[in-house]
């Protein structure tokens, strides 16, 4: 059964979708079977892999129509070992649609039941908010990865996210673990970036990934060309860093299951 990783931070512009796309692709390059779930109404992860005009049904349909399974919308991506469950702008209506529904936080978790056995990892890209979509993702996940930009006010809003995690662990998903905090958009030339990195390390300790994602022009350009960094600029520092992150994620996940007394994710 798959390890499910939510990539979340309600602060926008921290490299969340970039991390979701490239971590998923990097794990696929490690011969892992990956499902990338796009839960952001902006659908940027979807657009990277699929022409949006060809997406007839999306996660909105799966989460609102009991008769539709996630298997019906999953599409193969151009990346070997990587499939995607696409988003459309209709996801923006999800909050209003699920208001008052007793099972609202569990829709994604329930939808994933029939497909979890098919993948080693499920990576979920979330919108920059603590919406019903983010809550659905956290309830469905075994792990959370938090990208934080190495910039002023980097930790703004993090307390709210951590509080949400504790509430979810208290009831609907006691197995949710903080996989790690990823420092993104790091500019080693500036004192501010170095100071921010040190501050993040003081706050989160060993939860901060050793891998740091630096500022990289190729990494910023790749979404515009609808490619991952591995096809757009395979020799760039961004590609090297995301591959290192994938290896670190694999090590951390494996360590958790070993500590729990199993050889791999149950």
What DSSP string runs through 147-184?
EEESSTTTTTTHHHHHHHHHHHHHTT-TT-EEEEEEEE
Q: What CATH number labels 3-259?
A: 3.40.50.300
How would you classify the pairing of strands 34-38 and 82-85? Answer: parallel
* Residue 266 pLDDT: 45
Q: Where does the pLDDT of residue 65 fall: very low under 50, low under 70, confident under 90, or very high at 90 and above?
A: very high
Looking at per-residue pLDDT, the higher value among 99 and 238 belongs to 238
Share of the chain above pLDDT 90, in %: 79
25 has pLDDT over 90: yes
What are the structure tokens assigned to 133, written together? 């979509």
Query: How many CB atoms lie under 10 A from the CB of residue 50?
Result: 19
């Amino acid at each position: 059964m798959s390890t499910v990783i939510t990539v979340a931070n309600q602060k926008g512009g921290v490299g969340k979708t970039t991390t979701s796309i490239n971590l998923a692709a990097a794990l696929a390059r490690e011969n892992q079977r990956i499902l990338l779930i796009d839960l952001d109404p902006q659908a940027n992860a979807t657009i990277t892999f699929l022409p949006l005009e060809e997406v007839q049904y999306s996660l909105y349909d799966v989460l609102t129509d009991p008769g539709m399974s996630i298997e019906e919308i999953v599409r193969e991506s151009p990346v070997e070992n990587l499939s995607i469950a696409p988003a459309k702008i209709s996801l923006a209506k999800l909050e209003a649609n699920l208001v008052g529904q007793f099972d609202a936080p569990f829709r994604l978790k329930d939808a994933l039941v029939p497909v979890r056995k098919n993948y080693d990892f499920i990576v979920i890209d979330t919108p920059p908010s603590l919406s019903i979509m983010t809550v659905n993702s956290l309830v469905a996940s075994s792990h959370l990865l938090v990208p934080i930009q190495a910039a002023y006010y980097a930790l703004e809003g993090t307390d709210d996210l951590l509080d949400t995690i504790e509430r979810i662990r208290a009831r609907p998903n006691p197995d949710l673990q903080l996989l790690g905090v990823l420092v993104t958009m790091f500019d080693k030339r500036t004192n501010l970036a170095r100071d921010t990195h040190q501050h993040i390390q003081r706050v989160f300790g060993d939860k901060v990934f050793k891998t740091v994602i630096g500022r990289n022009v190729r990494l910023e350009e790749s979404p515009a060309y609808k490619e991952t960094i591995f096809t757009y600029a395979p020799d760039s520092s961004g590609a090297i860093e995301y591959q290192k992150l994938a290896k670190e994620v694999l090590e951390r996940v494996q360590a958790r299951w070993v500590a729990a007394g199993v050889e791999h994710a149950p």
